[in-house]
C-alpha cells in the first residue's frame, strides 16, 4: 500500500487562525493578507493562487484565482470564494461585513516590492505593515499534529541514512550517488521541494559531497557548500569521483507532507585520518552539551556561545562552522514547513526557547582540502532539553 | 570521464554588461544594483552573497560577502571586492570614482519589500526604479554560447525520454517512477534546481503523472498540475499507481550548467482510447503550425490566437491548455536560466519574436478524469521559424 496525502484537520487550522488573530490584536493590526505559499498552506491547508484574508476578529476569507476547486477540496476553511482579480479584494472584504483594514498586515519579508506597490494601490486607505516576524514566531512552536509529521519525516531520514552503505561505491561521482539516494527518498514519498524563506536562499535536497569538494564554501548561510555541478547552482553534489579514505557527507532534508527533517551523517570507504575522526567525535560532544542546555527559557545566542567555547577549548575554533572568512555564526536553526525557520541558534540572538520548537542542530568542522565532519539532527525542545528525532548511527560509518 | 563545470567566458560577460549599460543609458538609469541569484550569474558568472553594481558607463563592481574566494574563482570580472555590510555600498561606489546614482535600477519584481526599504535607507538620495523588464528583455535573446548550452540540455532531455520505456512498470507509483527518472537525470549532470522568477512559482523537475492524476489542476501558471504527494506541494507526481491504458505524462526540465530545456512526451502501457490519440495528433499539428508562423517579428499574442483557433476548429477548445476555469491563456514561454523567461506566447501579448529567443512551446489537452496528452519542445527562433532542439519521438510511445 503506498502512503496517502495528509490533509490538515479543521481543528489545526482553527488553532492557527486563532493564534494569528491574537497576535494581530496585540499589534493593532486590523487584518492580515496572506499570499506566500508556505503561509497559505499553514493557515488554510491549501496552496493555490490565492489570498487569505484574516481579520483580527471573525472568520477568514480564502479568495482563489486558481484552482478554486482544489482549494475547496483541500482546505477546511468555510469561506472559500473565487477571486477574479486582486483589485476585487476590498469589495469582497466589504461584502462579507468586514470593515476596511486601517492597518493591513502582509508578509513583507518575501513579498516583492512591485507586488507591494500594487497592494498599496488596491488598499489606498490602509497602512501596510510587515507581520512576517509574528507569523514566523507563531509557526516556530509546533502542535502535536505537526510534531507527528516531523517525526515521520525524521524516520524517513533515518531510512535514507541506513541505505547509504548499500548505494556507495568507490569511483562513482557525487552526483551519481546523489541521484540514487534521491530516488530512494522519492520512493518513500519525499515531496521534492524544500522551501527556504530568506531572499536568495535555495536548496535541492541538501549537500552530498566527499572529501575536498564538501569543504568548498557557498553563498548559502550554511557551514557547507559544495563544488557542485556548475557555478550556476554553486552548492551540493558535483562531478568529482568519490575516493577511499575521505569523509562523505550526507546532509539532506526529508520533506514529508510539507514538513522537513534535517540531518547529516558521515560515511567513508576505508578509514579516515585520525584528525578527522577526533574532530567528528568532538562535534558529537558539542551536540550532547547543547542538547542538555537547550531547555525552555534558554537564550538561543547562549547556546551558540557554548558551542563555540567547546570548539575553542579543543583548538578547533578556526574550522568550526566554516573556515576563515566563510565561517558562519550559528549552530542550528528551526525547521518545519521551511528549512530556515525560527529560532536561530546564532550569535547575539535573544530569542528564548519554547517547548515544541523544532531545531536542526548542526555542529560541523570544515577542513579545506580535506573535507567535512560533524553531525546534524532534528530535535524538539522539551523540559528535559532537546529530544532527538533523527536517530541513525552517529559514528562515522565505514563501508 | 565525468563532465565538467562550465565557467562563463569573459567575452560573454562583457557583452552582457554592455547590453545592460546600453539599456540603462537609454532609460536614464545611472547604475544597476543586481542582487538576485539568476541575474548575478548572468552578469557576473558567479552566485554568491553579493551585490553587482553596474554603472551606466565604466567597469562594474562585484562586492561579495560570502564567498569572496569562490566569486574570484568563478567570475571573469576584474573588480571583485569584499563587502562587510550592504551599508558600505555607497562608500565603495564612491571610492571607485563613480558618482552616486541619482536613479538606481534594481530587480523590484523579485526583491522583497523589506529589502527594498533597507536599500532606500542605504541610498537615501537615489530614486530606486525597477529594471526587471530591461534585464528580462536582454536575457530573452540568447548568445551562441548560451544556445550551445541549451542544445546540450535538450540532448539530455532526449536521453531521459529515451530511457522512460525501460523504467516504466505497471503498478509502480508515479513518485517511484519519478525517482528513477530523476536518478538518471542526476547521473547525466542535472543541476537539480530549476529557477522560476514569478512570485510563488516553483518547480521540482516538472510534472510526471499518469491518467486522472495528470489532469488535476494546480496553482501554477501551467496547463498541468498533478495530484502530487501532498497539498503542501500541490503539483507533480503522487502516490497513485500507474495503470494500463492511460496516458503517462513526462513533462520535465533538464537544467544543465544553469540552462534549461523543457519538454513533454506521452507514454502508455497498452493502447489509449481513440479520443486521446486523436487529441494528441492534433496537438502535434498545432505545434507544426506555430513553428512555421513563429519567425522574427511575429507578435507572440498572435501565435497564441492561432493555436486557440486550431483547437476550436477541431472542437477541442474546452480542454485546450486546461479545463474549465483552470484553463491558462498561453501556449508557450521563454526558457533559459529560468523556466519562466520572456517572451510569453500568451493572450494579448504584444512582444515581437527575435532571432535567438528560446521558447518552450507546449500545446496540451487536459481531460479531467482521463489524463493529459500533447507535446512540449524547446525551440530557438530563426528566420525560418522555430528550430526544434528537443527531438525525442513525438508520437505516443506504447510500451
Contacts of A250 (CB under 8 A, 6+ apart): A160, A161, A164, A181, A208, A264, A265, A266, A267
Dihedral, A168, A170, A172, A174 alpha carbons, nearest 10: 70
Chain A stretch 59-78, residues whose beta carbon is closer than 8 A to a beta carbon of chain B: 66-70, 74
Chain A stretch 220-279, residues whose beta carbon is closer than 8 A to a beta carbon of chain B: 225, 227-234, 236-241, 256-259
Of B111, B183, B240, which is closest to A113 when you measure between CB atoms? B111
Q: Is residue B1 predicted with pLDDT exceeding 60?
A: no
The three cell numbers of residue A194 are 524544500
Architecture per CATH, domain B10-139, reads as: 3-Layer(aba) Sandwich (3.40)
Chain B stretch 291-310, residues whose beta carbon is closer than 8 A to a beta carbon of chain A: none
Residues of chain A with C-beta less than 8 angstroms from the C-beta of B256? 230
Judge: A337–B232 Cβ closer than 8 Å, yes or no: yes
Looking at chain B, the whole-number percentage of residues with pLDDT higher than 90 is 98
Nearest one of A47, A43, A45, A48 to A15, comparing CA atoms: A43
Q: What's the confidence (pLDDT) of residue A42?
A: 98
Judge: A116–B113 Cβ closer than 8 Å, yes or no: yes
Judge: A68–B110 Cβ closer than 8 Å, yes or no: no
Please tell me the distance from the alpha carbon of residue B214 to that of residue B267, in angstroms, as a whole number: 13
Judge: A5–B192 Cβ closer than 8 Å, yes or no: no
How far off is chain A from B284, nearest CA to CA, in Å?
27
Q: What's the confidence (pLDDT) of residue B154?
A: 98
Instruction: Fold for A141-398, please state it.
Output: Creatine Amidinohydrolase (3.90.230)
Please tell me the distance from the alpha carbon of residue A280 to that of residue A286, in angstroms, as a whole number: 10
The 10s digit of each residue's pLDDT in B43-62 is 999 999 999 999 999 999 99
Contact B192, A205 (CB under 8 A): yes
Q: Is residue A2 predicted with pLDDT exceeding 80?
A: no
The 10s digit of each residue's pLDDT in B143-201 is 999 999 999 999 999 999 999 999 999 999 999 999 999 999 999 999 999 999 999 99
- For residue A241, the 8-state DSSP code is B
In this prediction, does ipTM exceed 0.90? yes
Contacts of B177 (CB under 8 A, 6+ apart): B167, B168, B208, B237, B242
Q: What's the confidence (pLDDT) of residue A181?
A: 98
- For residue A85, the 8-state DSSP code is -
**Interface probe, candidates A2, A232, A241, A366, chain B, greatest B C-beta count within 10 A:** A232
Q: What's the confidence (pLDDT) of residue A325?
A: 87
The 10s digit of each residue's pLDDT in B229-273 is 999 999 999 999 999 999 999 999 999 999 999 999 999 999 999
Q: What's the confidence (pLDDT) of residue B167?
A: 97
Nearest one of B304, B219, B204 to B251, comparing CA atoms: B204
CATH class belonging to A10-138: alpha beta
Q: Find residue A372's DSSP bridge partners.
A: A366
Q: Is residue A133 predicted with pLDDT exceeding 60?
A: yes
CA distances from A185 to A108, B172, B241 (A): 34, 15, 17
Give me the residue spans of the domains in chain A: 10-138, 141-398
By the CB < 8 Å criterion, does A110 face chain B?
A: yes
Judge: B6–A36 Cβ closer than 8 Å, yes or no: no
Q: Which residue of A has its CA nearest to B112?
A: A112
Contacts of B69 (CB under 8 A, 6+ apart): A217, A325, A326
Amino acid at each position: 500500500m503506498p502512503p496517502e496525502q495528509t490533509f490538515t484537520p479543521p481543528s489545526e487550522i482553527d488553532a492557527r487562525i486563532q493564534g494569528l488573530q491574537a497576535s494581530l490584536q496585540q499589534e493593532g493590526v486590523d487584518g492580515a493578507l496572506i499570499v506566500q505559499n508556505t503561509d497559505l498552506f499553514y493557515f488554510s491547508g491549501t496552496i493555490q493562487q490565492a489570498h487569505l484574508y484574516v481579520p483580527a476578529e471573525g472568520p477568514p476569507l480564502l479568495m482563489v484565482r486558481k484552482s478554486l476547486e482544489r482549494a475547496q477540496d483541500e482546505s477546511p476553511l468555510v469561506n472559500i470564494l473565487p477571486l477574479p482579480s486582486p483589485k476585487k479584494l476590498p469589495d469582497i472584504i466589504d461584502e462579507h461585513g468586514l470593515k476596511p483594514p486601517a492597518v493591513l498586515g502582509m508578509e513583507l519579508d518575501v513579498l516583492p516590492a512591485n507586488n507591494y506597490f500594487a497592494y498599496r494601490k488596491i488598499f489606498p486607505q490602509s497602512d501596510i505593515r510587515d507581520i512576517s516576524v509574528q507569523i514566523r514566531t507563531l509557526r516556530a512552536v509546533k502542535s502535536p499534529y505537526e510534531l507527528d509529521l516531523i517525526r515521520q519525516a525524521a524516520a524517513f531520514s533515518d531510512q535514507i541514512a541506513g541505505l547509504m552503505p548499500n548505494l556507495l561505491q568507490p569511483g562513482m561521482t557525487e552526483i551519481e550517488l546523489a541521484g540514487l539516494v534521491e530516488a530512494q527518498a522519492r520512493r518513500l514519498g519525499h515531496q521534492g521541494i524544500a522551501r527556504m524563506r530568506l531572499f536568495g536562499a535555495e536548496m535541492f535536497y541538501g549537500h552530498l559531497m566527499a572529501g575536498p569538494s564538501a569543504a568548498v564554501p557557498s553563498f548559502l548561510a550554511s557551514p557547507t557548500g559544495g563544488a557542485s555541478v556548475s557555478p550556476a547552482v554553486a552548492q551540493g553534489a558535483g562531478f568529482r569521483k568519490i575516493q577511499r579514505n575521505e569523509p562523505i557527507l550526507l546532509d539532506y532534508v526529508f520533506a514529508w507532507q510539507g514538513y522537513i527533517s534535517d540531518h547529516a551523517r558521515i560515511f567513508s570507504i576505508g578509514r579516515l585520518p585520525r584528525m578527522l575522526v577526533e574532530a567528528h567525535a568532538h562535534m558529537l560532544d558539542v551536540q550532547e552539551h547543547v542538547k542538555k542546555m537547550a531547555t525552555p527559557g534558554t537564550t538561543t545566542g547562549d547556546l551558540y556561545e557554548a558551542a563555540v567555547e567547546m570548539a575553542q577549548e579543543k583548538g578547533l575554533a578556526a574550522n568550526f562552522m566554516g573556515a576563515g572568512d566563510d565561517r558562519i555564526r550559528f549552530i542550528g536553526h528551526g525547521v518545519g514547513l521551511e528549512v530556515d525557520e525560527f529560532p536561530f541558534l546564532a550569535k547575539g540572538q535573544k530569542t528564548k526557547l519554547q517547548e515544541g520548537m523544532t531545531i536542526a542542530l548542526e555542529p560541523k568542522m570544515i577542513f579545506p582540502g580535506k573535507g567535512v565532519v560533524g553531525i546534524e539532527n532534528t530535535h524538539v525542545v522539551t523540559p528535559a532539553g532537546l529530544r532527538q528525532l533523527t536517530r541513525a548511527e552517529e559514528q562515522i560509518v565505514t563501508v
